């Protein structure tokens, strides 16, 4: 045993655990085994209780209405039901053992109870952050710090992190400074996103700003705030920005060679926001790979534009398509647009009456404007019909155009039937050059 204790590594470990409050015979003591047995028993009981009463508690929670805050807190606590029961059970055993025997014989149980309790409190409090990934990262990071503090290892850990460094170019950074920089970056980035969201709400409340300007200012504010967060966090650890300049040059070359499409979409998005050719709420029509897309602009982002179609789906179109392809913007400067409808009538028809009926049908159709007045023109003489064209105006293209055509067609059909106006079928003349007898066909 003396030879083993003379090994430097074991001596250092022994002193380390001694500074934490662990005695040398703690791991071989019967009370250590008793505490481990109690810990396993409490974990088993907590698991059984959670599995047995969990569904009943969940059903009870679903019946709560009108108390959103209370329901959210209870739901968060319910998801950690095992940990809550485990913490309560461990603390009860700690109180019992401290009342019946020496406090040192319940040390491990006290540490375990403190760790579980800290995790329950921190994990619930971290849900203030809506993003689940960020919330979990914050919860784990804070719990690790608290756990090191509870076990008395925080000062030694900080000292080790501060003395351990990593080489970054000609200089070196300690792990502790890197961790501090990352924590500062996370906090500043969260504040930057939060401030940009409030700034976007402030911009949306000003009707004198066009939607495209509002989106542009919102995006620029977020980018500027995030850049400031990165610069401040890097400057806090004394990183030389000349090295970053060289790195950014290499990144720029990589972007130019491998990310042309992405960069093109971002630049196209900025151009669209600045020239106001496409705005949220505009009704547009554009040719895409899958065919013609008709709808209104729902969201104008930095990389893509979301166009909501009449069937309720949203088509995400890369911004560069709006730059290098023709786009029909039905509401660019004026929402009033003209539509055309082709109608054919028989040559035996009173064409003037047919024209009048088409105009009257357009005037009685909803969504068709009375001013400018609908018109009906003769546009040609077909093989079997006189070709008419009804021209009318609407000012709500976002409501669709095919449904207006359908209503007008139906109104014209009803009026033509009432006036006995014939819509002709195509006629063809068949000339038989020679007759063939039935016997020859056998």
| pLDDT score at 172 | 67
Query: Could you read off the pLDDT of 6-23 as tens digits, one per residue?
Result: 444 445 545 555 555 455
Q: How confident is the model at residue 437 (pLDDT cuts 50, 70, 90)?
A: low
Query: Could you read off the pLDDT of 374-422 as tens digits, one per residue?
Result: 999 999 998 888 999 999 999 887 777 888 999 999 999 999 999 999 8
| pLDDT score at 51 | 84
Highest mean pLDDT range out of 198-212, 248-262, 426-440? 198-212
Highest mean pLDDT range out of 41-45, 185-189, 215-219, 241-245? 41-45
Tell me what the mean pLDDT of segment 415-440 comes to: 74
Compute the residue count for the chain.
442
| pLDDT score at 10 | 45
Q: How confident is the model at residue 26 (pLDDT cuts 50, 70, 90)?
A: low
Q: Hey, is 173 helix, strand or coil? A: strand
CATH of 337-418, one of 3.40.720.10, 3.30.390.30, 3.30.70.100, 3.40.50.11810: 3.30.70.100
Tell me what the mean pLDDT of segment 196-206 comes to: 83
Tell me what the mean pLDDT of segment 243-252 comes to: 58
Tell me what the mean pLDDT of segment 142-155 comes to: 85
Residue 214 neighbours by CB under 8 Å, 6+ apart: 200, 203, 204, 206
Nearest 10 degrees: Cα torsion 348, 352, 358, 359:
180
Is the model's pLDDT at 245 over the cut of 70?
no
User: Check: CATH 1.10.8 for 164-258?
Assistant: no
Quickly count: other Cβ atoms within 10 Å of residue 356's Cβ. 14
| pLDDT score at 202 | 84
Give long-range contacts, CB 8 A cutoff, 24+ apart: 190-199.
190/129, 190/134, 191/229, 192/222, 192/225, 192/226, 192/228, 192/229, 193/222, 193/225, 193/226, 195/221, 195/225, 196/221, 196/222, 196/225
pTM for the predicted model, two decimal places: 0.48
Query: Could you read off the pLDDT of 338-378 as tens digits, one per residue?
Result: 889 999 999 888 999 999 999 999 999 998 999 889 999 99
Is the model's pLDDT at 301 over the cut of 80?
no
- C-alpha to C-alpha distance for 143 and 136, rounded to whole angstroms: 10
Average pLDDT, the chain: 79
| pLDDT score at 99 | 85
Q: How confident is the model at residue 2 (pLDDT cuts 50, 70, 90)?
A: very low
H/E run at residue 131: none
Give me the residue spans of the domains in the chain.
Answer: 18-162, 164-258, 265-329, 337-418
Query: Could you read off the pLDDT of 317-336 as tens digits, one per residue?
Result: 888 888 888 888 877 777 88
**Topology (CATH level 3) of domain 265-329:** SH3 type barrels. (2.30.30)
Topology agreement, domain 265-329 and domain 337-418: no
Tell me what the mean pLDDT of segment 255-277 comes to: 73
């Amino acid at each position: 045993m003396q030879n083993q204790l003379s090994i430097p590594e074991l001596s250092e470990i022994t002193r380390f655990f001694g500074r934490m409050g662990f005695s040398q015979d703690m791991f071989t003591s019967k009370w250590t085994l008793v505490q481990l047995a109690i810990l396993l028993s409490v974990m088993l009981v907590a698991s059984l209780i959670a599995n047995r009463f969990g569904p009943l508690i969940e059903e009870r929670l679903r019946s709560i209405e009108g108390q959103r805050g209370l329901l959210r807190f209870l739901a968060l606590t319910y998801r950690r039901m095992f940990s809550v029961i485990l913490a309560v059970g461990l603390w009860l055993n700690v109180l019992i053992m401290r009342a019946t025997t020496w406090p040192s014989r319940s040390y491990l149980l006290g540490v375990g109870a403190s760790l579980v309790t800290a995790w329950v409190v921190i994990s619930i409090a971290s849900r203030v952050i809506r993003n689940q990934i960020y919330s979990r990262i914050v919860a784990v990071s804070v719990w690790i710090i608290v756990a090191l503090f509870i076990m008395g290892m925080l000062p030694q850990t900080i000292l080790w992190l501060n003395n351990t460094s990593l080489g970054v170019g000609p200089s070196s950074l300690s792990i502790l400074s890197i961790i501090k920089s990352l924590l500062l970056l996370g906090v500043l980035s969260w504040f930057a996103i939060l401030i940009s969201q409030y700034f976007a709400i402030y911009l949306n409340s000003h009707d004198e700003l066009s939607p495209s300007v509002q989106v542009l200012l919102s995006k620029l504010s977020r980018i500027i705030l995030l850049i400031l967060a990165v610069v401040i966090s890097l400057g806090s650890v004394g990183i030389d920005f000349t090295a970053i300049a060289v790195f950014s040059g290499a990144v720029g070359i990589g972007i130019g060679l491998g990310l042309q499409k992405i960069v093109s979409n971002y630049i196209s998005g900025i151009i669209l926001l600045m020239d106001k050719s496409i705005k949220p709420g505009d009704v547009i029509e554009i040719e895409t790979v899958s065919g013609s897309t008709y709808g209104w602009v729902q969201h104008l982002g930095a990389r893509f534009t979301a166009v909501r179609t009449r069937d309720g789906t949203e088509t995400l179109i890369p911004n560069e398509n709006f730059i290098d392809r023709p786009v029909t913007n039905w509401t660019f400067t004026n929402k009033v647009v003209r539509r055309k409808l082709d109608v054919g009538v028989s040559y035996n028809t009173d064409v003037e009456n047919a024209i009048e009926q088409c105009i009257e049908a357009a005037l009685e159709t909803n969504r068709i404007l009375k001013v400018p007045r609908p018109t009906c023109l003769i546009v040609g003489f077909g093989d079997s019909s006189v070709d008419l064209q009804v021209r009318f105006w609407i000012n709500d293209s976002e409501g669709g155009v095919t449904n207006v055509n359908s209503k007008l067609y139906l109104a014209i059909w009803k009026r033509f039937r009432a006036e006995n106006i014939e819509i002709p079928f195509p006629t063809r003349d068949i000339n038989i050059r020679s007759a063939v007898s039935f016997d020859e066909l056998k």
